[in-house]
Amino acid sequence: MRNFVFGLMYTALLAGANAAWAASPDIASLRDGDMKKLVVHEAPQAASDAPFNLADDAGTATLADWQGKYVLVNFWATWCAPCRKEMPQLDALQKEFGGDHFEVLTIATGRNSPKGIEKFFAEAGVENLPRHQDPRQALASQMGIFGLPITVILDPEGREIARLRGDAEWNSESAKAIVKALIESRAGG
């Protein structure tokens, strides 16, 4: 009897988790062009709790500090040519959609000096993105970030729901439609 009760509880827990995931926006159907590279997970995956450095020596944080909204986390580096191309697009995405329900979070991984990051942002015209760093690649390693750029989307519970390897056209209609769907699902339509 005890195993039967535990089995029922486990089944109910799984059904609840699947129902919650099923209620998430259908962003897979919105992928077009470069956004077809966005892999939407069948179920949310745990994100790392490794700390990273906040911009301007403001201390450390973890991805959990952004729970409560959808977060597009872009792992990049100053030496990364595709990053230079997509960073202004991510900046524009943050300017247009950033707020209570969505945020673009950029994290320079590996050896990137703060002055080098400032210069990179100035040259690229980036004004709306943070200059956070993961100098020892602890977060990147735990998140399975191999190669740059890589972008992950976290749900409001802080779980990874999608991943895109390589650069993308973040100013495309498809990218904007995905972000709008995420925001609308969080804002209640």
Largest CA distance in the chain: 67
Give the domains, in start order, of the chain with CATH numbers: 26-187 (3.40.30.10)
Q: Is the pTM of this model over 0.85?
A: yes
pLDDT tens, position by position, for the chain (189 residues)? 444 333 433 334 444 444 444 457 899 999 999 999 999 999 999 999 999 999 999 999 999 999 999 999 999 999 999 999 999 999 999 999 999 999 999 999 999 999 999 999 999 999 999 999 999 999 999 999 999 999 999 999 999 999 999 999 999 999 999 999 999 998 775
- Residue 123, classified by CB atoms within 10 Å of its CB into exposed (0-12), middle (13-18) or buried (19+), is exposed
Bridge partner list, 66: none
